[in-house]
């Protein structure tokens, strides 16, 4: 390599490192002094409180069960809220919740689908167990239709609040742990009569990320769970490449990136101290969306970028902060699912790096995972969710009824 090329390569590397450091907003010394993470306002309902003795329970142990009021959007369905012990990203015990929708005429040991809903939120009212009892138009139009199809087939639907008690949006691995422990928990609730049921998982976008992480973590974290398969769509497989693609400029959905930074700080307060690097405008935005859900988060960041909220641009790479992002990037996680996988995405998704999806599924194929991949004919991220659901439901139906062998497009 000649001197000019070597110098250009070194400059490119320094630029990339500086950009990544800026994206995670971590510097050597804080320009604004020490600022603690901004956690969500605690839920006033004591059912959601963290028990003082939570460490005495094993992952997946049931902590409490509550029968919930019926939901008009799911006629003929019983609703049960289950609180259980899980584990956070640093290995500490936490309490989490999941909502169970079950047909009133449920047959014992009929199929179970753990569906990880998209949760773009930082506050307690954003959880699935809360949103079900609101008039959220996104839920009514998108998820409710698919869930009713599953319920009419006699399936039990399990809907975890997979962001955890601090609503650590962006902590993708956490979602996988909570999903697996939620499955463990509901199988222990006798009134549900699903102890011998075949169980599969599904989810799209952020919910697909929790699903994919659960599938990859299951062999090591919950080896006793014999899961029939996992259907995942539009999965952000590599947060590093997503952040690199964001750059310094403004972006229409920058609010989601800001929320992810706030959520990661909640989960990794020492390794990812984003609040220390925010200017006054950044801290104000952080506080304004600390309890917010999708629309308010998008509004707070619409048309803005990192330079609007960073206290300084003299940022350098911090290995601990980068490590947090890498640890939540499934493309970089070495293990593979040992259950069948159905994956779908838009081939030109503007929000999700498709190359990371392709690299991850190829690695899984090489590890022996049966993977079916489907591209949906749309460039739009959310439209792809709807277009891929019929194929995903057919694939799930086959897995939940034990059809063998599972197909593979590897």
The better pLDDT of the pair 244, 274 is held by 274
Q: At 314, is the pLDDT very low, low, confident or very high (cuts 50, 70, 90)?
A: very low
Q: Which residues pair with 68 in a beta bridge?
A: 79
- Classified as helix, coil or strand, 112 is strand
pTM of structure: 0.90
Residue found under tokens 């939620």: 182
Kindly state the percentage of the chain with pLDDT values over 70: 87
Which of 34, 50, 31, 32 minimizes the C-alpha distance to 42? 50
Q: In sequence order, which residues have a C-beta less than 8 Å from that of residue 57 and are 6 or more positions away?
A: 63, 85, 93
Distance CA 314, CA 301 (A): 22
Distance CA 113, CA 232 (A): 13
CB 198 within 8 A of CB 112: yes
Q: Which residues pair with 87 in a beta bridge?
A: 93
- Classified as helix, coil or strand, 290 is coil
Instruction: Using the predicted structure, report yes or no on whether residue 3 has a pLDDT greater than 70.
Output: no
The rounded Cα 138 to chain-centroid distance in angstroms is 17
Lowest-confidence region among 23-32, 39-48, 111-120: 23-32
Distance CA 314, CA 59 (A): 43
Own/partner pairs, 312-315, CB within 8 angstroms, 24+ separation:
312/27, 312/31, 312/277, 313/22, 314/27, 315/18, 315/21, 315/22, 315/25, 315/26, 315/27, 315/277
Instruction: Using the predicted structure, report yes or no on whether residue 51 has a pLDDT greater than 90.
Output: yes
Strand pairing category for 93-103 and 62-68: unpaired
With 0-12 CB in 10 A as exposed, 13-18 as middle and 19+ as buried, what is 374?
A: middle
pLDDT tens-digit series, residues 207-250:
999 999 999 999 999 999 999 999 999 999 999 888 777 666 67
pLDDT tens-digit series, residues 111-126:
999 999 999 999 999 9
Angle in degrees, CA 301, 306, 312, rounded to 5: 135
Distances (CA, A) of 202 to 125, 196, 287: 23, 19, 33
Instruction: Using the predicted structure, report yes or no on whether residue 10 has a pLDDT greater than 50.
Output: no
CB 100 within 8 A of CB 186: yes
Q: In sequence order, which residues have a C-beta less than 8 Å from that of residue 233 and are 6 or more positions away?
A: 203, 204, 205, 208, 343, 344, 345, 384, 385, 388, 392
- Classified as helix, coil or strand, 378 is coil
Token representation of residue 49: 């409180």
pLDDT computed for residue 378 by the predictor: 85
Give the chain's mean pLDDT: 88
Going along the chain from its start, the domains and CATH numbers come out as: 3-30+239-326 (1.10.260)
* Per-residue DSSP letter, 134: T
pLDDT tens-digit series, residues 318-350:
788 889 999 999 999 999 999 999 999 999 888
Which of 400, 21, 47, 66 minimizes the C-alpha distance to 248? 21
With 0-12 CB in 10 A as exposed, 13-18 as middle and 19+ as buried, what is 270?
A: exposed
Distance CA 222, CA 226 (A): 9
CB 340 within 8 A of CB 229: yes
CB 177 within 8 A of CB 379: no
Cα separation of the two ends of the chain: 38
């Amino acid at each position: 390599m000649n001197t000019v090329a070597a110098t250009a390569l070194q400059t490119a590397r320094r630029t990339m490192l500086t950009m990544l450091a800026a994206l995670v907003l971590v510097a050597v010394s804080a320009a604004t002094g020490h600022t603690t993470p901004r956690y969500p306002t605690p839920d006033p309902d004591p059912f959601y409180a963290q028990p003082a003795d939570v460490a005495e329970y094993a992952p997946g142990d049931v902590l409490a069960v509550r029968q919930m009021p019926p939901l008009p959007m799911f006629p003929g369905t019983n609703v049960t809220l289950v609180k259980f012990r899980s584990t956070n990203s640093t290995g500490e015990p936490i309490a989490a919740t999941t909502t169970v929708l079950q047909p009133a005429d449920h047959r014992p040991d009929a199929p179970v689908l753990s569906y990880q809903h998209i949760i773009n939120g930082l506050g307690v009212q954003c959880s699935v167990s809360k949103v079900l009892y609101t008039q959220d138009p996104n839920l009514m139009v998108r998820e409710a239709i698919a869930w009713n199809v599953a319920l009419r087939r006699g399936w039990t639907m399990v809907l975890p609040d997979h962001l955890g008690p601090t609503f650590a949006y962006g902590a993708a691995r956490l979602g996988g742990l909570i999903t697996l422990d939620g499955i463990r928990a509901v199988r222990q609730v006798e009134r549900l009569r699903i102890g011998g049921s075949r169980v599969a998982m599904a989810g799209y976008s952020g919910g697909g990320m929790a699903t994919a992480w659960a599938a990859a973590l299951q062999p090591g974290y919950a080896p006793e769970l014999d899961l029939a398969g996992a259907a995942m769509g539009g999965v952000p497989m590599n947060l590093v490449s997503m952040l690199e693609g964001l750059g310094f400029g403004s972006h229409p959905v920058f609010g989601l990136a800001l929320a992810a930074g706030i959520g990661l700080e909640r989960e990794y307060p020492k390794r990812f101290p984003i609040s220390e690097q925010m200017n006054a405008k950044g801290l104000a935005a952080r506080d304004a969306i600390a309890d917010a859900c999708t629309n308010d988060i998008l509004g707070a960041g619409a048309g803005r970028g990192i330079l609007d909220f960073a206290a300084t641009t003299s940022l350098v790479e911090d290995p601990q902060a980068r490590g947090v992002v890498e640890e939540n990037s499934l493309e970089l996680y070495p293990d593979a699912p040992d259950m069948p996988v159905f994956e779908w995405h838009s081939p030109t998704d503007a929000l999700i790096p498709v190359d990371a999806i392709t690299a991850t599924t190829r690695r899984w194929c090489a590890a022996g995972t049966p993977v079916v991949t489907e591209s949906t004919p749309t460039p739009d991220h959310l439209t792809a969710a709807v277009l891929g659901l019929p194929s995903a439901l057919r694939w799930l139906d086959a897995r939940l009824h034990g059809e063998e062998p599972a197909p593979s497009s590897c």
